[in-house]
A and B are shown apart, each in its own frame.
Chain A
């Protein structure tokens, strides 16, 4: 039983990270039809910004702020202006290709301009372990869980309880109508990109102490983000969270109790099942088909 709890808790911590990344992914899709295949690399990169700042002499807290700022500007603003805006009028497919190319670009850039070796990353909390019901949890995992939950709650508050948030939701659901109602649609879309920049930076700071900062980090995280977002439900932020948590726990349980060689297969099978049987995801609303 202790090992089951162990798996559950570790899965929860990993799932919380997947949820963070998936939420940003979902936001971008909802508001601007952007399927960002580079989301994984977006999470990989801020860690390198921070490490570079530290190499230049900044203390950790300052480097983190710099990393956050760079993330918002480069991965939020510049991404929107340079990549997304020019492509959007051509439809979804060229944008998809572009983001795939962007993910390759960012990955190779990190490898060539920083290092191909994994880099240790300073942790926010000391690496001690706690004993809970016979399962050992690292303080780091708890911190990750706590911060991820806090971030999602903050986002939820922003989206549902503030005027700005409700404008963003309106933009996502029906941009034309929102525009008629006087909502500055372009600015709302910009905000989602900036928020995504913040989310990926936080995710990066949380995972890099455990995963180590490496240029290949984005590969698995990116796929996990899509899986979580789709399984949970594309048009609801709550869906992304549920999807992330399910994914994290499922991966652990299937690796431990089922085949370890096919551990990667179970989330994929669930994905296919969800898309075929309930395309709106577990928590999503049914999308009306527009002509």
Chain B
């Protein structure tokens, strides 16, 4: 990563640590939500931006992770164990779903995952004996570690920020490993990768499963953040929101999800000035955005940098551009 990029990231990190002290509880809640959604978006970015698979089920995996943690902690399982369980369970489900589903072409995968998302919703809603059904699970406690309680807004935010840092470092490490290079090869030219002996199916599956488990971990944080979960929150609306975050931020760029989640969390808040019409304005914004910079905000930044003649960012940061 070039020096300018490093500086910006470091500055943003300092900012992320310092800013909550100047915010009221609502503001802290918002940035905690940003951290949690970024984790899910990083997962989707892995699946979509790097491995090129369109998943409309990311919201369902967040839901599965959230319910896993909620049910386990209510059964007095320690949070740390529940957290890991959420991630592993979603990895497994992602693997099982992906195994048959990734054989089909991209747009078909979108529909399969869309159907899966709705099925998960139906199960969460109808199986009252397990999930408390449509009523949802209330009063989810916030975890405590070695005496440090995350009950207060500020403490919980730092917990989320910590999780985000750890998970993004883990993703960074994966991307720099041979696996990561395989993912990029998959995206750039799957046929060529195949001809070079890369087991494209296996790597696509791994990317999909890791992406799903990241969503599950995000769900594990979502449950104690909102302290109430219900089936409706994890439907197609959330999946679409996450998809939007990845695309708006810049699909295939490492920092795309961070930026996309920031826009997704802040934009509705700004739009509230427009009173009741903010959803219309939001929808229009998305359409305009897609017309003018479909490779996302970071794609725009890259184009701007290229135009100014600077060195382009490293291949890990670069994206092929959506759909090209």
Residues from chain B with Cβ under 8 Å of A276 in the complex: 100-101, 103-104, 112
A94-B323, A264-B118 known; A105+B280 contact, CB < 8 A: yes
Query: Nearest B residue to A267 by beta-carbon distance?
Result: B115
Q: Does B108 contact A (CB under 8 A)?
A: yes
Q: Does B122 contact A (CB under 8 A)?
A: yes
Please tell me if the beta carbons of A87 and B290 are within 8 angstroms of each other in the complex. yes
Determine, out of B73-81, B149-157, B176-184, B240-248, the stretch whose residues face the partner at the interface. B240-248
CB neighbors of A among B229-250 (8 A):
240, 243-244, 247
User: Given the complex of chains A and B, what is the CA–CA distance between A139 and B160 in angstroms?
Assistant: 60
Residues from chain A with Cβ under 8 Å of B122 in the complex: 261-262, 264-265
User: Given the complex of chains A and B, what is the CA–CA distance between A105 and B290 in angstroms?
Assistant: 14
| CB proximity of A10 to chain B, nearest CB, Å | 23
User: Given the complex of chains A and B, what is the CA–CA distance between A207 and B216 in angstroms?
Assistant: 40
Q: Does A230 contact B (CB under 8 A)?
A: yes
CB neighbors of B among A42-87 (8 A):
83, 86-87
Secondary structure type dominating chain A contacts: helix
Query: Nearest A residue to B285 by beta-carbon distance?
Result: A101
Q: Does B291 contact A (CB under 8 A)?
A: yes
User: Given the complex of chains A and B, what is the CA–CA distance between A102 and B288 in angstroms?
Assistant: 11
User: Given the complex of chains A and B, what is the CA–CA distance between A95 and B118 in angstroms?
Assistant: 22
Q: Please encode chain B, from 287 to 302, with 1 for each CB lying within 8 Å of some chain A CB and 0 for all others.
A: 1001100100000000
Please tell me if the beta carbons of B322 and A93 are within 8 angstroms of each other in the complex. yes
Chain A, interface size category, equals 35 or more
Query: Nearest A residue to B322 by beta-carbon distance?
Result: A93
A87-B291, A94-B294, A265-B122 known; A104+B322 contact, CB < 8 A: no
Residues from chain A with Cβ under 8 Å of B54 in the complex: 93, 96
| CB proximity of A77 to chain B, nearest CB, Å | 17
Q: Does A130 contact B (CB under 8 A)?
A: no
Q: Does B283 contact A (CB under 8 A)?
A: yes
Please tell me if the beta carbons of A101 and B119 are within 8 angstroms of each other in the complex. no
CB neighbors of A among B111-163 (8 A):
111-112, 114-116, 118-119, 122, 125-126
Q: Does A258 contact B (CB under 8 A)?
A: no
Please tell me if the beta carbons of B115 and A97 are within 8 angstroms of each other in the complex. no
Please tell me if the beta carbons of B115 and A268 are within 8 angstroms of each other in the complex. yes
A265-B122, A268-B119, A276-B100 known; A93+B323 contact, CB < 8 A: yes
Please tell me if the beta carbons of A90 and B323 are within 8 angstroms of each other in the complex. yes
Q: Does A1 contact B (CB under 8 A)?
A: no
Q: Does B12 contact A (CB under 8 A)?
A: no
Q: How many residues on B have C-beta within 8 angstroms of the other chain's C-beta atoms?
A: 42
Query: Nearest A residue to B248 by beta-carbon distance?
Result: A97
Q: Does B277 contact A (CB under 8 A)?
A: yes
Q: Does A226 contact B (CB under 8 A)?
A: yes
Query: Nearest A residue to B101 by beta-carbon distance?
Result: A276
Q: Does A181 contact B (CB under 8 A)?
A: no
Please tell me if the beta carbons of B279 and A86 are within 8 angstroms of each other in the complex. no
User: Given the complex of chains A and B, what is the CA–CA distance between A101 and B267 in angstroms?
Assistant: 15
Please tell me if the beta carbons of A105 and B291 are within 8 angstroms of each other in the complex. no
Please tell me if the beta carbons of B287 and A101 are within 8 angstroms of each other in the complex. yes
Residues from chain A with Cβ under 8 Å of B286 in the complex: 97-98, 101
Please tell me if the beta carbons of B290 and A101 are within 8 angstroms of each other in the complex. yes
Identify A272's interface contact among B112, B279, B322, B323, CB under 8 A.
B112
User: Given the complex of chains A and B, what is the CA–CA distance between A262 and B323 in angstroms?
Assistant: 36
User: Given the complex of chains A and B, what is the CA–CA distance between A82 and B240 in angstroms?
Assistant: 22
Q: Does A180 contact B (CB under 8 A)?
A: no
Identify A98's interface contact among B116, B191, B287, B323, CB under 8 A.
B287
User: Given the complex of chains A and B, what is the CA–CA distance between A55 and B137 in angstroms?
Assistant: 46
Please tell me if the beta carbons of A279 and B276 are within 8 angstroms of each other in the complex. no
A91-B324, A226-B111 known; A98+B290 contact, CB < 8 A: yes
Q: Does B284 contact A (CB under 8 A)?
A: yes
Identify B287's interface contact among A83, A93, A265, CB under 8 A.
A83
A residues within 8 Å of B by Cβ?
35, 83, 86-87, 90-98, 100-102, 104-105, 108-109, 112, 223, 226, 230, 261-262, 264-265, 268-269, 271-272, 275-276, 279, 289, 291
Q: List 26 A-B contacts (CB under 8 A).
A: A86-B291, A90-B321, A90-B322, A90-B323, A91-B323, A91-B324, A92-B106, A92-B323, A93-B54, A93-B322, A96-B110, A97-B244, A98-B291, A100-B240, A102-B287, A104-B283, A105-B284, A108-B277, A112-B276, A112-B277, A261-B122, A268-B119, A272-B115, A276-B100, A276-B103, A276-B104
